[in-house]
Amino acid sequence: DTEVTQTPKHLVMGMTNKKSLKCEQHMGHRAMYWYKQKAKKPPELMFVYSYEKLSINESVPSRFSPECPNSSLLNLHLHALQPEDSALYLCASSYRQAQTNEKLFFGSGTQLSVL
């Protein structure tokens, strides 16, 4: 299994809603990532978990709350989002963080629209 699975694929939410994005991998990877990608822009790193611990937080607003319950799962909890948060949210994983010859395996993303 060389896939990173993200659910849901599409999500529409209001600014007062609470929702969660989910990401799962079964490749034994111990580093997992959340990226945000606006249309026609490059991905921007949000969070990195290494061995289930948050290792990088790129000054992301607190309305985004990551969680890594175990080595295979990564969640992104959303609360009180703004319309400008509408984007494609990509999850990725790698064998280790800071490992030579690493590449990231990306999920297919969740297209989020905030109304």
Q: Choose, by CB under 8 A, the member of 104, 112, 113, 115 that binds another protein.
A: 104
* Nearest distance in Å: CB 48, another protein: 7
Got the DSSP string for 27-94? Answer: S---EEEEEEE-TTS--EEEEEEETTEEEEE-S--TTEEEEEEETTEEEEEEES--GGG-EEEEEEEE
Question: In sequence order, which residues have a C-beta less than 8 Å from that of residue 7 and are 6 or more positions away?
Answer: 21, 22, 110
- Site residues for another protein, window 61-100 (CB under 8 A)? 90, 92, 94, 97-100
Q: What character string, x for contact with another protein (CB under 8 A) and - otherwise, covers 36-55?
A: ----xxxxxx--x------x
Rank residues 17 and 97 by Cβ distance to another protein and give the closer one: 97
**For binding to another protein (CB under 8 A), which residues are involved?**
31, 33, 40-45, 48, 55-56, 58, 90, 92, 94, 97-109
